[in-house]
Amino acid sequence: MDRKGLYQERSVMGPDFETVLSQSPRRISSVWYLRAYAHCQDAVPDLRHLVPYGFGNTQDLKEMERLRLFYCKLFKAELIPSLELLEAANGGRLFERIMKIPNLNASKSDRRFLKRVMDTKQPRATVRETTYGN
C-alpha cells in the first residue's frame, strides 16, 4: 500500500487492518465472521465460526440476537480489538477478558447472561479456508 501512495490511508486503518492484509485471503479467522455478523444480522456465517464466542450456548434466537447486539456494541464503540477477542476465545477466557473492559456498562442480568453463554470450553476459534475459481 505504501508503494502505491496509500500510507496515510493505511495508518488510519489501525493494527487489525495490517494483520488482515498480512494474511492469506484464503484463510479468514472466525473473528472477522463475528464482526460481520455483529454489524449486519443478514451476514449469518456458518455457525461453527460463532461457537467460540458464545453462540453455541444460546438457547434460542432471542438469545442469539441479544449476544449479537452485545458484540455489535463492543465493536462499534471499539472497546476491544478484534485480535484480543480472538485470543481470549482461543484461551477459553472470553468472559473474563470482556469483563475487564473499562467502560463496559453491563447490567447484572447482562453479566449473568454473558457468563453463561461465554463459558466456551469448546474448540479453538476457527480459520476458514476459502477457494476461488474452479
Q: What is the pLDDT of residues 17-45, one digit of tens each?
A: 666 666 676 777 889 889 989 998 787 78
pLDDT digit string (tens) for 112-128?
999 999 987 754 555 55
Dihedral (C-alpha) 24, 27, 30, 31: value to the nearest 10 degrees? Answer: 0
| 27 DSSP β-pair partners | 129
The secondary structure element, H or E, covering residue 37 is helix 30-39
Query: d(Cα 39, Cα 11) in Å, to the nearest integer?
Result: 23
For the cut 50, the answer to whether the pLDDT of residue 132 exceeds it is no
Q: Which residues 6+ apart lie within 8 Å of 81 measured at CB?
A: 15, 16
